[in-house]
Amino acid sequence: MPESVPTVKGYLPLHFTFRLIFAYAVPMFQGPANRKNFVVTCKTCRRDIPTGLDEFPFQSVTVVCPLCGEARRYRPSETFLGRVDHLVVHQNRRPR
């Protein structure tokens, strides 16, 4: 270990501790639940629901709301890149 790194006897250097924390924390942020998706705001329950599309739609898309079951058409202007409502993410994890 280089002489220039200040250490307190019995403690790890601070930068080394941070590196350990990030080594464990980073994989948790790479899950598909946190990936940004093209979402629309449900016209019935007003929650952000996933369109299931990987690319921006240039035509109207029909999206079935996983929360209220409402199937509606959404224009491209109503589609935006964002995160789905936490209720939708929660529901997807629970098998029916």
In the complex, the residues that contact Zn ion under the rule CB under 5 A are: 42, 44-45, 65, 67-68
- Of the candidates 93, 94, 57, 52, the residue with the CA atom closest to the CA atom of residue 78: 57
Give the length of the chain: 96
Quick one: 53 or 67, whose CB is closer to Zn ion? 67
Cβ 36 to Zn ion shortest distance, Å: 20
Quick one: 17 or 44, whose CB is closer to Zn ion? 44
Quick one: 5 or 68, whose CB is closer to Zn ion? 68
Strands 37-41 and 48-50: antiparallel
Query: Counting beta carbons within 10 angstroms of the beta carbon of residue 80, is it exposed (0 to 12), middle (13 to 18) or buried (19 or more)?
Result: middle
Cβ 95 to Zn ion shortest distance, Å: 20
Cβ 12 to Zn ion shortest distance, Å: 49
